Chains A and B, each alone.
Chain A
Amino acid sequence: MAYEHLSWPKDLIDLDQFTAEHLLAILDSAENFKEVSEREIKKVPTLRGKLVVLFFHENSTRTRLSFEVAAKRLSADTIALSASGSSMSKGETLLDTARNIMAMNPDALVIRHSASGAPLFLGERLACPVLNAGDGAHAHPTQALLDLMTIRQKLGRIDGLKVAIIGDIAHSRVARSNMIGLRTLGASVSVCGPPSMMVMGLREEYGVSVHSRPEPALEGADAVIMLRIQLERQSGRLFPGAREYASVYGLNAERLALAKPGCLLLHPGPVNQGVELTPEVYDCPQSVILEQVTNGVAIRMALLYLLVDNSERRNPAAAA
C-alpha cells in the first residue's frame, strides 16, 4: 500500500494525532476496503486469528454493529463486553477491567465510554492498539473519518469546502472530531447551536467560525452536518422544548436553500425527525445519511487493519 513511509500511533484516540497525509491515507485505505463489502463473499483473511475486544461501556447500536461487521469482514474473532453484561455493573473499576482485558491478550480493543479520556487511560495501560469508538463529549474519530470519506466521495475533495455543523456542540464528540478532521484537510467550518449548547473557545481552539443562528452558518455551505439533540437528556433544561428547537435550529427546505445547490446533508444518527431535520429534508436527494453507515464499516476496517498491522511491525516478536 502507498503511504508506507508514514508512522502510526499505537492507539486511535482523536484526529489531532494525524497530519492531512495520514487522514488521506486512511480514507484511501477505506476506499479499498469498501470494495470488500461489495463482493459476493464479503470477507478477507487479513486479521485471521486476531482477537478484537469490543468494550461498550455506554450504549451504542450503530457504532458497535459497525465495528463488529468491520472486524468480521477482516476475519478477526470478536468478543463484545457491555457495561450491563460485564462485571462493570458489579462495581469493577476501569483499571480492573483493563487488567482483565490485558490478561486475554487481545490484538485490539475498541472502546466506547461515557467518560471523556477513558480510551487514553486504557491506551496508556494496554499493550494492544486501543480504538476510540466515542468517549464522553471528547472525541469520536471514526465517525468523523466516515463523514470525511462520505464528503470526499460525493464532492471529490475536502480542501476548500465550506462545512456547517449545527446542533448541540457542547455535548458532541462528533462535532469536536469533525472540526479537527475538516480543518486539518483544509475545509472551512462554521458551527452553530443554541448558546446553552455551545462551549467557550471554539474559534481559538479549532479555527472555526461560531454562530448562534443557523442561517449565516448555512450560507454557501457545501455540506452540513446536523447533530442529534439528546431530547431525553437535556433539551428540557438547555432549551425550552423540541418544537422551539425545530423552529430556530431545525433544518427545513427553506434553510437548506441558503446552502450551495446540491449541499450534502449528513447526520451521525439516529435522527430525531421533525426536530433536527424535517422529514422532507431527511429524504432529499442530497441526504447521504445511509452512505455514512456503509462508509463507517470501511473506515473501521481500514483502522483495525492499520493499527493491528502497525502494532505487529512495532513488536515483531509478539506477532511471531
Chain B
Amino acid sequence: MTGQQIVIKNARIIDPAQGLDQKVDALIEGGRIARIDPGLGIPGDGRKVIEAGDRWLLPGLIDIHVHLREPGHEYKEDLASGLAAAAAGGFTSVLAMPNTSPPVDRAELIGSLLSKAKGLKGARLYQSAAMTRGLKGEELTEYNELKLAGAVAVTDDGRWVTDSAVMRRVLCYAQVCGLLPITHAQEGALSKDGQIHEGRVSTRLGLRGFPAEAESIAVYRDLALARLTDTPIHVCHVSSELSLELIRKFKSLGVRVTCETAPHYLHLTDEDVAGYDTDKKMNPPLRAKADQKALREAVKDGTIDLIATDHAPHSVLEKECEFMEAAFGVIGLETALSLTYELIQDLGLGPAKLVELLSLNPAKILGIPGGTLAPGSPADLTLFDPDHNGPYDVNTSKSKSRNSPFKGRNLKGKAVLTMVGGEIVFDAQEPTI
C-alpha cells in the first residue's frame, strides 16, 4: 500500500516551511513526498490519482494535547476510536496525555501503547509520560527509560506539580533526556472545588469559581523556574489574559517558553455556560470576554505558538448529571480545523498561519517529523475544503463520546481526506473506512 505511487492533482499547497502557497501537483512514493510540481505536470498514468480540485493541501495536522483514555477508560475512548477521530479531523499525529488508569508512568506501558497504535488505522500516536510517579507531584519518573521506550514529552496534565523543588528537578532532568516538559498551570488552593470561571456568571449560577489568577500564579512559578534552570517549558491550554502577559514577558527575556490554547477558549466564554451546559465544563474553564480577546490577540502576535484541542472524551454518565458532579473536558478533534480556519479569517490572517498553528509549530516544539511537505518528508497530509459550510452533527463523530461544546454550531471548512505515511486514513467520501 505504501509502495503505491499517488498523485494529488491541482491542490493549493499551504506550506509555510517551504514558503509555498500555490497550485501544485504532488507525487507520493514509498510513503513519502517525492515531488511537488508547481507546473502541474505530474502525469497520472498508472498511479492512483486524487483530484484535489482547488482544495487546500496542508501538511498533516498535529495535536499535542489529547486524552485517548486507554488504558482504563475505554468506554469513553480508546486508541482505535481516538486515532480515527483525529484522522477525521485532519490530524495525522497526536500526543496522548498520560492521565489514564493506571497513569502512563512506566516504559512498558509506553511501549505497549505505541505498538498497539501501529496496527490501527488513523493518526500516528505519540505518547507523553507522567512527569512524576502516579501523577502525584513527588518523585520523578524514569525519564531516560521512558524516552527509550518512545515517549516524547512529560506532563502531569490535569494536575500542577505544587512542590517547586520537584518542578525544578523535572525541568532539568527533562532537558537532559530530551523530553518536552508540559505544565498544566493551576494553583490548587485558589481553584479548589471550582466549577467555572470566577466572575459574573459563576455568581449568577451559584457555582464555585476558579479565578484566572490560579492559572497565572502557576504560570509565573513555572516560567521563573524555566529561567532559573535555563530549560525549555511548554504551557498547555492557556486560558487567561494575565497568563499571556507573563508568557509574553518571559519570551522577551529569552526564556524558552512555548504555549498553546484550545479552540473552545477562542470561540466561547463563560457566558456560554449559562443554563448549566455540562458540555461547556472544562479545566481550565471558559473565561471572560476580556480573556478571549487577549487570547485572540496572542494568536495574532505569536505569543500563542499553537492550538491543541485538549480532546477529553466523557460518556453521558459523567456529563448528563448535576453540573457540579459533571466531569471536566470536551471533545475537539473533529472541530478544531474548522474553528481555527474561522479564527484566522476573523483575525485577518492568511492560511499560512493556520498551518503554523496546527502543524508546523507543534512539530517543531515537540521535535517530531511533519509540519511540512518538503520532498523527503513523510506523506502525512490533509486535504481541506474551505468551501464547506454547515452545522456540526456530533453524532457523526468517530469518537466514542459526544461531549462537544459546539454541537449544532455552523462550521466553515473541513478535512476531506487525511493521509498518514502515504496511506489514506480518512476520506470524507468513504466515511466508513
A121 at the interface (CB under 8 A from B): yes
A102-144 residues at the B interface, CB under 8 angstroms: 113, 115-118, 120-121, 135-139
B200 at the interface (CB under 8 A from A): yes
Q: Which of A116, A176, A199, A201 contacts B324 (CB 8 A)?
A: A116
With a CB–CB cut-off of 8 A, which chain A residues contact B323? 115-117, 121
With a CB–CB cut-off of 8 A, which chain B residues contact A120? 275-276
A253 at the interface (CB under 8 A from B): no
Q: What does the 1/0 interface line of B201-228 toward A look like (CB < 8 Å)?
A: 0111111010000000000000000000
With a CB–CB cut-off of 8 A, which chain A residues contact B380? none
A150-206 residues at the B interface, CB under 8 angstroms: 173, 176, 199-202, 204-205
A139 (CB) vs chain B CBs: closest residue? B206
Q: How far is the CB of A236 from chain B (nearest CB, A)?
A: 16
Q: How far is the CB of A13 from chain B (nearest CB, A)?
A: 10
Interchain CA distance A115-B325 in the complex, whole Å: 8
A169 (CB) vs chain B CBs: closest residue? B203
Inter-chain contact A201/B200, CB cutoff 8 Å: yes
With A121-B276, A137-B206, A138-B206 known as contacts, the answer to whether A200 contacts B199 (CB < 8 A) is: yes
Interchain CA distance A139-B203 in the complex, whole Å: 11
B276 (CB) vs chain A CBs: closest residue? A117
A95 (CB) vs chain B CBs: closest residue? B320
Interchain CA distance A117-B273 in the complex, whole Å: 11
B325 (CB) vs chain A CBs: closest residue? A115
B322 at the interface (CB under 8 A from A): yes
With a CB–CB cut-off of 8 A, which chain A residues contact B206? 116, 135-139, 173, 176
Q: Which of B203, B320, B325 contacts A199 (CB 8 A)?
A: B203
A248 at the interface (CB under 8 A from B): no
Q: How far is the CB of A182 from chain B (nearest CB, A)?
A: 16
A231 at the interface (CB under 8 A from B): no
Inter-chain contact A200/B203, CB cutoff 8 Å: yes
A115 (CB) vs chain B CBs: closest residue? B322
Q: How far is the CB of A230 from chain B (nearest CB, A)?
A: 14
With A116-B323, A205-B204 known as contacts, the answer to whether A200 contacts B209 (CB < 8 A) is: yes
A319 at the interface (CB under 8 A from B): no
Q: Which of A93, A116, A173 contacts B321 (CB 8 A)?
A: A93
A94 at the interface (CB under 8 A from B): yes
B279 at the interface (CB under 8 A from A): no
B157 at the interface (CB under 8 A from A): no
B198 at the interface (CB under 8 A from A): yes
B290-326 residues at the A interface, CB under 8 angstroms: 317, 320-325
Interchain CA distance A205-B317 in the complex, whole Å: 33
B316 (CB) vs chain A CBs: closest residue? A95
Interchain CA distance A117-B323 in the complex, whole Å: 7
B276-290 residues at the A interface, CB under 8 angstroms: 276
Q: How far is the CB of A171 from chain B (nearest CB, A)?
A: 8
With a CB–CB cut-off of 8 A, which chain B residues contact A135? 206
Q: How far is the CB of A242 from chain B (nearest CB, A)?
A: 23
With a CB–CB cut-off of 8 A, which chain A residues contact B200? 200-201, 204-205
With a CB–CB cut-off of 8 A, which chain B residues contact A200? 198-200, 202-203, 209
With A93-B321, A121-B322, A136-B324 known as contacts, the answer to whether A116 contacts B207 (CB < 8 A) is: yes
With a CB–CB cut-off of 8 A, which chain B residues contact A116? 205-207, 276, 323-324
A198 (CB) vs chain B CBs: closest residue? B203
Q: How far is the CB of B271 from chain A (nearest CB, A)?
A: 12
With a CB–CB cut-off of 8 A, which chain B residues contact A121? 276, 321-323
Q: Which of B203, B275, B321 contacts A95 (CB 8 A)?
A: B321
With a CB–CB cut-off of 8 A, which chain B residues contact A201? 199-200, 203-204
Interchain CA distance A201-B185 in the complex, whole Å: 25
Interchain CA distance A248-B198 in the complex, whole Å: 27
Interface centre among B206, B321, B322 (most CB of A within 10 A): B206
With a CB–CB cut-off of 8 A, which chain B residues contact A199? 198, 202-203, 209
Inter-chain contact B202/A115, CB cutoff 8 Å: no
B322 (CB) vs chain A CBs: closest residue? A115
Q: How far is the CB of A226 from chain B (nearest CB, A)?
A: 20
With a CB–CB cut-off of 8 A, which chain A residues contact B320? 95
Interchain CA distance A152-B320 in the complex, whole Å: 41
With a CB–CB cut-off of 8 A, which chain A residues contact B275? 120
Q: How far is the CB of B286 from chain A (nearest CB, A)?
A: 16
With a CB–CB cut-off of 8 A, which chain B residues contact A176? 204, 206
Inter-chain contact B203/A94, CB cutoff 8 Å: no
A199 (CB) vs chain B CBs: closest residue? B203
Interchain CA distance A173-B317 in the complex, whole Å: 27
B320 (CB) vs chain A CBs: closest residue? A95
Interchain CA distance A138-B206 in the complex, whole Å: 4
Inter-chain contact A94/B321, CB cutoff 8 Å: yes
Interchain CA distance A201-B320 in the complex, whole Å: 29
With a CB–CB cut-off of 8 A, which chain B residues contact A136? 206-207, 324
Inter-chain contact A94/B276, CB cutoff 8 Å: no
Interchain CA distance A121-B277 in the complex, whole Å: 10
With a CB–CB cut-off of 8 A, which chain A residues contact B324? 115-117, 136
Interchain CA distance A205-B209 in the complex, whole Å: 15
Interchain CA distance A205-B201 in the complex, whole Å: 8
With a CB–CB cut-off of 8 A, which chain B residues contact A173? 206
With a CB–CB cut-off of 8 A, which chain A residues contact B209? 199-200
With a CB–CB cut-off of 8 A, which chain B residues contact A113? 322
With a CB–CB cut-off of 8 A, which chain A residues contact B199? 200-201
B323 (CB) vs chain A CBs: closest residue? A117
Q: How far is the CB of A223 from chain B (nearest CB, A)?
A: 23
Inter-chain contact B203/A205, CB cutoff 8 Å: yes
B312-345 residues at the A interface, CB under 8 angstroms: 317, 320-325
- In the assembled complex, 26 residue pairs joining A and B whose CB atoms fall closer than 8 Å, in A order, are A93-B321, A94-B322, A94-B325, A115-B323, A115-B325, A116-B324, A117-B207, A117-B323, A121-B323, A136-B206, A137-B206, A137-B207, A138-B205, A138-B207, A173-B206, A176-B204, A199-B203, A200-B198, A200-B199, A200-B202, A200-B203, A200-B209, A201-B203, A204-B200, A205-B203, A205-B204
Given contacts A93-B317, A94-B322, A117-B207, 13 further A-B contacts (CB under 8 A): A94-B321, A95-B321, A116-B324, A120-B276, A121-B321, A136-B324, A137-B206, A137-B207, A138-B205, A200-B199, A200-B202, A201-B204, A205-B200
Chain A residues within CB distance 8 Å of chain B: 93-95, 113, 115-118, 120-121, 135-139, 173, 176, 199-202, 204-205
Q: 4 smallest A-B Cβ distances: which pairs? A: A138-B206, A201-B200, A137-B206, A117-B276
